[in-house]
Structure 1
Amino acid sequence: MTAQLLIGPVLRRVVGDRATIWVETSAPARVRIEAGGGAAGSAATFCAYGHHYALVVVSGLAPHAAHAYRVYLDEEQVWPAAGSPYPPSVIRTRAADDADQPVSLLFGSCRRGTPQATGRHLPPDALDAYARRLMAEPEHRPDLLVLLGDQVYADETSHKVRRFLRRSRPAGQDGPADQVITFEEYTKLYLESWRDPEVRWLFSTVPSVMIFDDHELIDDWNTSASWRADMARQAWWSERIAGGLGSYWVYQHLGNLSPDELAADPLFRKVSEARDATDLLREFGRRVDQPEQAENTDRPYRWSFALDLGRTRLVVLDNRCNRVLTPGARAMLPPAEWEWFLDQAHGEYDHLVVGSSLPWLMPPAIHHLEAWNERVAESRRPRWAAFGEKLRRAFDLEHWAAFTRSFTALGELFRRLGEGGVAAPGHRVGAGGAYAAPASISVLSGDVHHSYVARADFGHAMATPVMQLTCSPIHNEVPLPLRPLMRVSWLPPVARVARGLARSAGVAKPAIRWKRLSGPYFGNAIGTLTLDGTTASARIEGTTGDGRLHEVAAADYRPVSRRGAGSSTAPDPVR
C-alpha cells in the first residue's frame, strides 16, 4: 500500500542549522525532507494504535535564510502537492549570531477546528485570517507560533465527529456519547482541525510550540482533589486519560522538544524502536496522570518546556496535569517543576516570556472571588468546605488566583527579577558587574474567551515592565450573557466588593496591583509580541466579518515611573 500524507508537514522547532518536522501518514513509510543546499533529513514512521507518525530532523540549513522544502514518502513527493495554490513552505533560519535580531511571537488559544462545531455560527477563524495575510506579506513571518491550550475539544465535538462516534462505538459502551474517549477518537479531532487548508499551510511554514489546557482532556481538568476522585469513579475515565495524554504527546508535545532533547528522550527512543508503540503510550498516559507522582517524587514527567530565541527566553508552563491538589498545599506546579522554572527564569537574556494557558492576572473582581473561594473550599467546617467546592467546580474558579501560593510566588519572582541586583541574577550585566533587570517580562495566556492587556504594579518604581497578554479565543466565542460580567469585573467598585468578601474569609491582600491597558475584546483574535533590542510591544488583532484582521488591543512597554504601573500612558478603553 502506498503511503499518503494525512496531516502535515508541521514545522515545529528551528534550532541553529536544524529543524524538526512532524507528519502523520496513512501507512508505514520512510519520510525524507529536502530543503536545498544539501540540507535534508529522513526518518521511518513509528506506529501506535494503528496510526503512523514521524518526526524528522532536517540538518545542514544555512543561517539567515528561507529554505523551501519538499516532503517525500518512500521517494514519492507528497508536499507541496501538485497544483497547490499556496506559496512554498519554507524553513526560515535565524542569523548565526542572532543576539541583535528581533523576535516576533504569534500567540493565542482556544480553537475549534470547524466553522459549525456545535451548531453555532462562530466568527471567522483568526488563524485562517493570519495565514491568508502571511501569504500576501511573507516578509512579516513570525519566528514562532505559541499555542496556549484547547487546540482540540475532546468534550465539545463537532457534528462530524459525533457521527463518527455513533457509527464506530459498540452498542452500550460506557461513556459520554458526544465526547471522545479513545486514542483513535482523538485522532479524528486532529484530522478535522489540522487539515484546514490555510492552517495546514501556516503550520508547514511557521515553527510552532504547544501546551494543553483543559479541553484537550475535559472541561475543568484537575480542578481539585475531589474532582479527580469523582472522575476516577467513572469507568471510562482511565481510557480517556490514556488516550488524551498519549495523543497529546504524539501530536503536540513531541514537537516542543529540540533535536538534542529528542535524542535524549527515553520515551521517544522506545516508541521509535517499537514495532507497535500502542501499549507504551497507553501505559505512559495512565502513569503520568498521577498528582501524587508530581507531588512526592523528584522527577515527575515535565510537560513544561523552555527555549531561547536570540536574547529572548520563552518558558511555557503546564497549568493542568502536574498541579498539586492537596487542600492546604495547592500549587500550579509541584516543587521539582517550580525549581526547574526558577532555573529557567534566571539566565542571560533581555526578555522573559512565560507561556501560561491560564492568565496570571485576571479581572480583579474575579481574582478576589477565586481567592475567597479557595479559602472557603479549605474550611475546617465540612458543610462550608463542600459549598466552596461546589462553587469552584460550577463556576470554573481554578485559575492562578485560586492557587494563592503559586500566584504570590510568581509575582515575587517577577518582582525580584525586575528589580535586578546580584540577589536576583537576571540577565544583562550592567555597570560594575551587577546583574541588570530584564528589559521586559510578559505572561502570554488564553482560556478565558476574551482578550486584554494588563500591567502589574509592584508599588514602587521598577525599570522592568511586567505585562499580562491574554488572547482567546482563536476560533470560538464567549456566550453573550457573560460579556457584561467580564466587563464589570474590571471596575474598581466591583473589585472592592469582591476584595471585601475575600478579606472576610481571611485572604491577605495581594502584594501587587494591576491595571487593564486594553480590552476586553470578545471576538476571535490572534496576538503578536515583538521584542527588538530592549524594546517590546504587543498587539492583538481580531477578525472582521469578512475574515480580515484589525487591531483591537495594543501596548508599548515602557519603564514604570515613580507612581507605578498606573502611570502608563497606554490607553484604557473598554472595547
Structure 2
Amino acid sequence: MNALPLSDTHPTDLPLVLAGPLLRRLEARRLVLWLVGRRALDARLQLAWDDPQRGVVEFDLPLDDARCQRLSVGRHAWLHLIDLHLDEPLPADTFIYYDLLIEDDGRRLAIADWAPHLLYPGQTQPSFVRRGRLDHLLHGSCRKPHHPGKDGLLQADALIDATRAQPTERPALLMLSGDQIYADDVAGPMLVAIHRLIERLGLYGEHLDGATISTSEALYAHPAGYYRREDLLPAYTANEELRERFFGGVEKPVFTSANAHNHLVTFAEVMAMYLLVWSPEPWRLIAPRLPELPEHLVARYRGEEALISAFAADLPQAARAMAQLPCLMIFDDHDITDDWNLSARWEQVAYGHPFSRRIVGNALLGYLLCQGWGNCPDAFANELPAIRELLAAPDYQQRLSAEAQDAIIDRLLTFNHWHYSLPGQPLLLVLDTRTRRWRSESTLSRPSGLMDWEALCELQHALLDEPAVVIVSPAPVFGVKLIEIIQRLFTWAGQPLLVDAENWMAHRGAAHVMLNIFRHSRTPANYVILSGDVHYSFAYEVHIRHRDSGPRIWQITSSGIKNEFPARLLDWFDRLNRWLYAPHSPLNWFTKRRRMQITPRIPSRSQRGERLWNGAGLGQVRLDEHGRPSEIHQLNADGSEPTRFEVTEREELHG
C-alpha cells in the first residue's frame, strides 16, 4: 500500500456540506448547530414559526464571525460551530422551521438543494421544537458501526416522522450518553474508508513520537496499519505493559470489545471517523478497496465490509433525525479508548508514553470539536483560540505543529469542565465520569471512583433545592449486583482491566458520597438517572429504606444503540442475580446499597421473568409534571414492538 498523497481534489468536486447540520444545544434564547463544509461557508440562517397573534414570524440571520466559528481541519474540510444568541425567545411547543442558505457561485442554496436527505416527505425545510418541559426524552449509548443489526438512531427518525403534525409529541432531546464512536474498535473496512476520506479531503497530517513510524503518512502506508497497529510500538520492555493496557493485548471476551488492533491514532483519523458515522455524504466521495492483507484476515475484512455497508446505507435517516432533534452528548471510554482512566496505574502507563498520550489526546480533541463544544460552547471559550492557531498553520507538507499539538493535548488532559447542565423543568445534569476520578491511594491498579470528592461536592451543590432532576451518568449508578461482584473479584485478583471494573460501587469513597447525596434533605424529591455503557437495558425504582418521605430514584439504562451483550451469558447473569440477590437473601446485607430498596421494572416481552433486556435500540422516557417517569420504553432497533418496562408486584431487592 502506498502512502496517501496530498489531496489534489478540486473543491467543486465535493459537496458544499460534508456533514450536518446537527442540532445541538437548544434553549429559549440560544440555538447551537454543528456542520462541516468543504470550505469556509458564507451562510445565513433563517428561522420561521407561526404565532397565533402575529402570524408567521421570520428571522434572517447572517452567520458572521460572532455567530459562527470556522476551523479548517484539512484543505477541503471546515468545521462550522454555529452559536446564535437570540433577542426574542423561541416559542415553546411549536414547530420552528429553519434553513441554512449558502452562497455558492452567485447562487443561494437551501438545505433542500444541498442536503435533501435531511428532509421528510413533504418538507421543504427541517424543523425542530423547543419543548416547554423536559417531559419526553430519547437516550442511548454504544453505537458500534460494525455490530450486526440495525442502527437504533433510525427509531428516532421514525418517531419524528410519525409525529410531524404533533409538536408536543416531539421529544425534548436526544441524549447520547457515551461511545458515540468506537475509536478503539474500528473495523478494517471502516479504517480503509477513513484513509480514503483523509486523502480526498486533505485532512491534516502530523508528526508522531514514540512509535516505529514518525508521521501520519508513514502510519497509513505501514504494513501493520490494518489489524496490527500494536506492532508499531518500539520493541523495548517498557512498551509491553502499554501494549496490554492500551492496545488491548490481553484478550477480554466477556465485558468489553476485544482487542483494539485498528485503534485510531491521528487527529485526521478521528475527524474522518466522525464524518463517516454521522453523514452519508463522505461515503459518496470514496470507494474503499481491500488493502493488502494476510490471507487469514481477508475473510474477516469481507465480513466486516457487509456490516459497514449496511451501516452506511442507514445514515441518511440517522442524519435526518439529528438535524431535527436537539442532540446532547457525553463521552465514555470508547469515544477515547477502552478502559480510559480506569485506574491510576492505567493513567501512569498511558500518559507516560508519548505515542499513547498523543492517541488519547487526539481522540479528546476530536471529542471537543465534534461533541463537547455543542453541549456547552461557553466551557471551551478559552481552549478554542489555541486550537484555531494550531489548525490555521500546517507546514508545507500539510502537517500540524507537533509542539503546538502536544501543548493543546496537555491542556485537554487537565481540563475539568466536560460536564454540563441544561436549565429547565426538570433540571438536566450531565456527569463527566471519566476525567475527574477518585484515584486509589493505596493500590494504583485498583479501579478509580467515577467522580472525585470535589466533583461530587459540585454535583450536590447543583442539586440543592431542586424539586426534580434528570442525571446522565454514562455508567449506571445502580447496576446489576452480580456483575459488579464479578468485577470486584477480578479486581481483588489484580485484573480489573479484564472485566472493565468500572461501576459506582467499585470505589468505596465515591459510592458512599453518591449515596449520601441521595439521602440529603435538600436534594431533589425525584431523581431520574439515565445511563448506558453496559450493552443491555433495564429500569429500577429505588427508595431509601425506612423513609417514606425520602427521594424516589429511577435508574433507567439503555444500551446499546448498535451493540448488544452476548445473549446466553446475559441470560445466565440475569438468572443468577435474581437467585443470589432475592429479597430475603443474606447476601444483600453485604452490599453498599443495603439501605436502599430496589425494585426492578419487568420488560413487557420478558418470557421467564428476566429483568434485563438485551436488544439494540433507543430508550424513551416520558416524565409527569413532578419529573417522575410515566412511561419507560426501549425502541427496538429491529423495528419490533417497543419493550415497556412495567410496574409489577412490588419485589424488593438490595443489590
**TM-score interval w.r.t. the shorter chain?**
0.7 to 0.9
Secondary structure at the aligned position of 1:367 is classed as helix
Distance in 2 of aligned mates of 1:165 and 1:255: 23
- In the alignment, is the contact (CA less than 8 A) between 1:368 and 1:401 conserved in 2? no
Distance in 2 of aligned mates of 1:498 and 1:476: 33
Query: Where does residue 383 of structure 2 map in the other structure?
Result: 267
40, 46, 50: which is aligned to 1:28?
40
Secondary structure at the aligned position of 2:156 is classed as helix
Distance in 2 of aligned mates of 1:502 and 1:371: 17
State the 1:7 CA deviation: 0.9
Secondary structure at the aligned position of 1:320 is classed as coil
523, 528, 532: which is aligned to 1:442?
528
State the 1:457 CA deviation: 3.0
Query: Where does residue 564 of structure 1 map in the other structure?
Result: none
1:285 aligns with 2:409: yes
Distance in 2 of aligned mates of 1:469 and 1:17: 30
One-letter amino acid of the structure 2 residue matched with residue 63 of structure 1: P
- In the alignment, is the contact (CA less than 8 A) between 2:580 and 2:587 conserved in 1? no
Residue 465 to residue 56, structure 1, CA distance change in 2 (3 Å)? same
Residue 306 to residue 62, structure 1, CA distance change in 2 (3 Å)? closer
State the 1:554 CA deviation: 4.1
1:108 aligns with 2:134: no
- In the alignment, is the contact (CA less than 8 A) between 2:141 and 2:178 conserved in 1? yes
- In the alignment, is the contact (CA less than 8 A) between 2:482 and 2:573 conserved in 1? no
One-letter amino acid of the structure 2 residue matched with residue 25 of structure 1: G
Gaps of 5+ in 1: 294-299, 377-386, 427-436, 556-567
39, 46, 52: which is aligned to 2:71?
46
Q: Please give the TM-score of this superposition, normalised by the length of structure 1.
A: 0.79
- In the alignment, is the contact (CA less than 8 A) between 2:185 and 2:261 conserved in 1? no
Residue 41 to residue 317, structure 1, CA distance change in 2 (3 Å)? farther
One-letter amino acid of the structure 2 residue matched with residue 135 of structure 1: D
- In the alignment, is the contact (CA less than 8 A) between 1:5 and 1:24 conserved in 2? yes
Query: Where does residue 560 of structure 2 map in the other structure?
Result: 473
Query: Where does residue 121 of structure 1 map in the other structure?
Result: 148
Distance in 1 of aligned mates of 2:128 and 2:34: 13
Distance in 2 of aligned mates of 1:316 and 1:446: 13
Distance in 2 of aligned mates of 1:225 and 1:179: 22
State the 1:344 CA deviation: 1.3
Secondary structure at the aligned position of 1:520 is classed as coil
State the 1:56 CA deviation: 1.3
Query: Where does residue 332 of structure 1 map in the other structure?
Result: 450
Residue 273 to residue 234, structure 1, CA distance change in 2 (3 Å)? closer
Q: What pairs with 1:208-357 in structure 2 (closer than 5 Å)?
A: 208-232=327-351, 236-257=355-376, 261=378, 265-271=381-387, 276=392, 283-289=407-413, 293=414, 300-309=415-424, 311-328=425-442, 330-347=448-465, 349-357=466-474
Q: What pairs with 1:132-531 in structure 2 (closer than 5 Å)?
A: 132-138=158-164, 139=166, 140-164=169-193, 169-171=220-222, 174=232, 177-195=261-279, 196-232=315-351, 236-257=355-376, 261=378, 265-271=381-387, 276=392, 283-289=407-413, 293=414, 300-309=415-424, 311-328=425-442, 330-347=448-465, 349-371=466-488, 376=492, 387=493, 389-390=494-495, 392-416=496-520, 420=521, 424=522, 426=523, 437-438=524-525, 440-460=526-546, 461-493=548-580, 510-518=594-602, 519-531=611-623
Distance in 2 of aligned mates of 1:571 and 1:495: 9
Distance in 1 of aligned mates of 2:180 and 2:154: 14
Deviations 1:282-329 (A, max 9, x none): 53334332xxx5xxxxxx5211111112x2111111111221323349
Distance in 1 of aligned mates of 2:514 and 2:80: 37
Distance in 2 of aligned mates of 1:135 and 1:509: 42
One-letter amino acid of the structure 2 residue matched with residue 77 of structure 1: L
One-letter amino acid of the structure 2 residue matched with residue 54 of structure 1: H
Q: What pairs with 1:24-103 in structure 2 (closer than 5 Å)?
A: 24-36=36-48, 37-38=58-59, 40-42=61-63, 43-48=68-73, 51-58=77-84, 59=86, 60=88, 62-64=90-92, 65-74=94-103, 76-81=108-113, 84=117, 86=120, 87=123, 88-94=125-131, 98=132, 101=133, 103=135
RMSD: 3.2
State the 1:197 CA deviation: 0.7
Secondary structure at the aligned position of 2:221 is classed as coil
Residue 127 to residue 508, structure 1, CA distance change in 2 (3 Å)? closer
Secondary structure at the aligned position of 1:342 is classed as helix
Residue 183 to residue 495, structure 1, CA distance change in 2 (3 Å)? farther
State the 1:5 CA deviation: 0.6
State the 1:155 CA deviation: 1.5
- In the alignment, is the contact (CA less than 8 A) between 2:541 and 2:599 conserved in 1? yes
Deviations 1:321-362 (A, max 9, x none): 221323349432233322321221124x43211100001111
- In the alignment, is the contact (CA less than 8 A) between 1:246 and 1:282 conserved in 2? no
Query: Where does residue 543 of structure 1 map in the other structure?
Result: 636
Secondary structure at the aligned position of 1:266 is classed as coil
Deviations 1:469-515 (A, max 9, x none): 01001111212342124313531425799986996xxx867443423
Number of aligned residue pairs: 501
Distance in 1 of aligned mates of 2:558 and 2:266: 30
Distance in 1 of aligned mates of 2:31 and 2:650: 38
Q: After superposing the two structures, state which structure 1 stretch, 534-543 or 21-30, moved more.
A: 534-543
Percent of aligned positions that are identical? 21
Distance in 2 of aligned mates of 1:446 and 1:325: 23
Residue 275 to residue 162, structure 1, CA distance change in 2 (3 Å)? closer
State the 1:415 CA deviation: 1.6
Secondary structure at the aligned position of 2:423 is classed as strand
Residue 539 to residue 338, structure 1, CA distance change in 2 (3 Å)? same
Query: Where does residue 15 of structure 1 map in the other structure?
Result: 27
